[in-house]
Amino acid sequence: MKRLVINKIVLALSTLSAVLGLAFLAWILITLFVKGLSSFHLSLFVNDLINNGLRNLIIGQFILAGMASIIGIPLGMVAGIYIREYGRGRYANIIRNLSDIMMSAPSIVIGAFVYALVVVPTGHTSGFAGSIALAIMMIPIVISTTDSMLSLVPQELREAGIALGASKYKVIFDIVIKSAKVGIMTGILLAFARIVGETAPLLFTSQTSNYFTLDLTQAFPSLSVSIYDLASDVQTSSRDLAWAASFILTVMVLVINLTGKFITRNKK
Amino acid sequence: MEKIFQKLSFSSATLVFIILLGIFITLFNAARPAINEFGLHFIVDPVWNKEVPLTTPTAKTSTVQASTTDDNIAVNPDDFSEDDGMGMDEDEDSVPTKTVYGGLVPLVGTIFSTLIALAFAMPIAMGIAIFLAEIAPKNISSLVGGAIELLAAIPSIIFGMWGLYYFAPIVADLFGGFQVSLLTAGLVLGVMILPFMAAITRDSMNTTPDILKESAYALGATKFEVIKDIIFPFSKTGIIGSIILSLGRALGETMAVAFLIGSIFELPHKVTDPTITIPVALANNFGEASGVGMSSLFYLALILFVMSFGVISFAKFYFLRKVN
């Protein structure tokens, strides 16, 4: 009898913790929607921060993440291909583990690293520095998705290609990557969603700017960094703007994230 | 072509190694002035940006409280360092002074906020994992699991704002003390690592072979007994690994904590006291720092990097082999 009661209690507690987890999610999202929408206005997309808008910040955030993708995706994919297709034994395994460790490296430390590497020699913060910091965060994520997606491709496909006389890189590009395409793209989308909401690596690499700019050699507007500045501002109008910006940032991140997940689910 | 691509892919893979090594070397180089000046004593010195007379040994200043007490704990008291320096200047007019930096306070803050996060997140994450793996029917499990994973996708700065304006007042009401404190920062950190911990725990629980569970059920075991005596022992290494990995995550979390910890260089006496962590010290002071102060920040960054590297590789090599 006692066993059954304990069983019931534990199961109830487990269910309760799941409810608690969902409650936190709901709490945060509802807060964002209520606070964000109350100060949301379409003019936010037209004006720059200097005129109490967010246009330059949103565009800037995407450009930073886009530049990071241009650097990070090819490097990460090619490295992932090496680990799965070329690498033999020990070395590939070491790189795989190091890449996993790098994935969990504190983002602020990556910011400090890029600061010392790029900002100090050039003398000022720049969009490039921010993109490099984000790219360093992105590379290990792309490596690990490429690696695991390629591992799902059946060995027989590769053997069939080789039996037809194709060279190894032809097999990789025309057969292996083609069949893993959807998975890799999804992984890249999720990696993008992950870095587009990042703040810490940008704080002292790209900083942020009140003005619209496309010049990556100067301080570059960033939505997330500006949220940090605005949210700690004493003026309520700034804080309202911060809530609207947070709402937009979260919607952006969640939409990209959910799109990625939706593609994977449809594929299955 | 074949050869070129092979070389190219080899060098991209090696890039990972180079970047990690580069981070270590760059941080070490930038931290060298501080390392030379303060040495390992840095780790146990609770003073930050304090001017002391050149003749006094550094150890004595550790008994003097940093004069930041009256700094009201605003969201982001960036300017406390200047206050600090100026207050000391008046007393030490003629004596030659040097500025001392110590990393004890952020180190303690980092470790304790992480421990609070773990203590808060662990039972809930275990509960969620049990719910997802053993209790919920498949479609509900994937739905709830997906929702919990969404929690992980929310940018950390959002956690900070929500935590500061909505969560912290409630915590302060319940436990007293300041709204920005070690406790609120730790709890919000806990919420942030929750989905991560729950997901890995669930995955390792799912590796338990059905035949083992079914045998136990056939013997009349209750669900709890199956979880306790079959699933947990079987997936123990994976679960411990997931906990340590989440710990590694929590160590380096910056933005959410920056809103909630109070950002003052002072050792906390109670969990409801404000203090600072290494990532927050970096985030708030990097802009204004120069000279040895800058170098000390790099020293902190180096310590954080080594800590998280150590923790994560420990988790990977000792516990997560099986899961991978």
Q: What is the tens place of the pLDDT at every residue in B196-206?
A: 999 999 999 99
Placement of tokens 């507690």 in the chain? A13
B/e letters for B157-188, b = 16+ CB within 10 Å, e = fewer, are bbbbbbbbbebbeebbeeeebbbbbbbbbbbb
Q: Which of B1, B5, B135 sits opposite A14 (nearest CB)?
A: B135
- B137 touching chain A per CB within 8 A: no
Q: Which of A3, A17, A87 sits opposite B124 (nearest CB)?
A: A17
Q: What is the pLDDT of residue B102?
A: 87
Which 3 state secondary structure label does DSSP give A167?
coil
How far is A208 from chain B, CA to nearest CA, in Å? Answer: 13
Chain segment A216-244, per-residue pLDDT in tens: 889 999 999 999 999 888 888 889 999 99
Query: How many Cβ atoms sit within 10 Å of the Cβ of residue B286?
Result: 20
Q: Are B290 and A115 in contact (CB under 8 A)?
A: no
Which 3 state secondary structure label does DSSP give A152?
coil
How far is A254 from chain B, CA to nearest CA, in Å? Answer: 7
How far apart are the C-alpha atoms of A54 and A46, rounded to whole Å?
8
The string of DSSP letters for B61-129 reads HTTSPPTTTTS---S--TTHHHHHHHHHHHHTSSS-EEEE---HHHHHHHHHHHHHHHHHHHHHHHHHH
Q: Do A224 and B155 touch (CB under 8 A)?
A: yes
Q: What residues of B are in contact with residue A169 (Cβ under 8 Å)?
A: 1-2, 5-6
Q: What residues of A are in contact with residue B288 (Cβ under 8 Å)?
A: none
User: What stretches of B163-254 show up as alpha helix (H) in DSSP?
Assistant: 168-175, 182-205, 210-218, 223-226, 232-252
How far apart are the C-alpha atoms of A157 and A179, rounded to whole Å?
9
Selection from B270, B279, B65, B24 nearest residue B157 by Cα: B279
How far apart are the C-alpha atoms of B272 and B168, rounded to whole Å?
11
CB-neighbour burial class of residue B147 (10 A; exposed 0-12, middle 13-18, buried 19+): middle
Q: What is the pLDDT of residue B93?
A: 54
Task: Output phi, psi for B51, to 5 deg.
Answer: -90, 130
Cβ neighbours for B59, distance < 8 A, ≥ 6 positions apart: B41
Task: Enter the CATH code of domain A39-267.
Answer: 1.10.3720.10
Q: Is the pLDDT of residue B63 over 50?
A: no
**Domain annotation for chain B: domains and CATH numbers:** 1-324 (1.10.3720.10)
Residue A46 backbone class (left: φ over 0; alpha: ψ -120 to 50; beta: rest):
alpha
How far apart are the C-alpha atoms of A49 and A148, rounded to whole Å?
41
B45 vs A20, residue with greater confidence: A20
Residue of chain A whose Cα is closest to the Cα of B4: A169
Hey, of B124, B161, B188, B297, which one would you mutate to test binding to chain A, going by the most A CBs within 10 A of its CB? Answer: B161
Q: Is the pLDDT of residue B216 over 60?
A: yes
Q: Do A75 and B15 touch (CB under 8 A)?
A: yes
Q: Do B1 and A136 touch (CB under 8 A)?
A: no
* Backbone CA torsion sign across A19, A8, B143, B203: positive
Segment B18-38 shows an average pLDDT of: 93
Q: Is the pLDDT of residue B65 over 90?
A: no
What six digits make up the tokens of A135?
A: 């790219």
Selection from B73, B75, B110 nearest residue B259 by Cα: B75
Q: What residues of A are in contact with residue B144 (Cβ under 8 Å)?
A: 18, 21-22
Q: Which of A117, A200, A261 sits opposite B254 (nearest CB)?
A: A200
In chain A, domain spans:
39-267
How far apart are the C-alpha atoms of B246 and A198, rounded to whole Å?
18
Q: Do B194 and A21 touch (CB under 8 A)?
A: yes
- pLDDT band at residue B84 under the 50/70/90 scheme: very low
Q: What residues of A are in contact with residue B286 (Cβ under 8 Å)?
A: 112, 115, 203-204
Q: Which of B223, B227, B305 sits opposite A109 (nearest CB)?
A: B305
Whole-number mean pLDDT of chain B?
84
- pLDDT band at residue B109 under the 50/70/90 scheme: very high
What six digits make up the tokens of A99?
A: 């890449």
Chain segment A48-85, per-residue pLDDT in tens: 888 888 999 999 999 999 999 999 999 999 999 999 88
CB contacts < 8 Å between A and B, how many?
257
Q: What residues of B are in contact with residue A99 (Cβ under 8 Å)?
A: 16
How far is A148 from chain B, CA to nearest CA, in Å? Answer: 11
How far is A53 from chain B, CA to nearest CA, in Å? Answer: 19
- B161 touching chain A per CB within 8 A: yes
Count of helices and strands (H, E) across chain B: 14, 2
Q: What residues of A are in contact with residue B23 (Cβ under 8 Å)?
A: 105, 109-110, 113
- B202 touching chain A per CB within 8 A: no
User: What stretches of chain A show up as alpha helix (H) in DSSP?
Assistant: 2-38, 55-81, 89-103, 107-114, 120-122, 127-151, 155-163, 168-170, 177-179, 181-196, 223-231, 236-267
How far apart are the C-alpha atoms of A120 and A130, rounded to whole Å?
13
Give the range among A47-51, B93-97, B136-140, B319-323 with minimum mean pLDDT.
B319-323
Chain segment B280-299, per-residue pLDDT in tens: 999 988 878 888 889 999 99
DSSP code of A6? Answer: H
Q: Is the pLDDT of residue B85 over 50?
A: no
Name the CA radius of gyration of chain B, rounded: 24
Q: Do A197 and B316 touch (CB under 8 A)?
A: no
How far apart are the C-alpha atoms of A52 and A44, rounded to whole Å?
7
Bridge partners (DSSP) of residue B99 are B51
Segment A196-212 shows an average pLDDT of: 90
Q: Are B291 and B201 in contact (CB under 8 A)?
A: no
How far is A51 from chain B, CA to nearest CA, in Å? Answer: 23
How far apart are the C-alpha atoms of A92 and A90, rounded to whole Å?
6
Q: What residues of B are in contact with residue A94 (Cβ under 8 Å)?
A: 17
Q: What is the pLDDT of residue B71?
A: 41
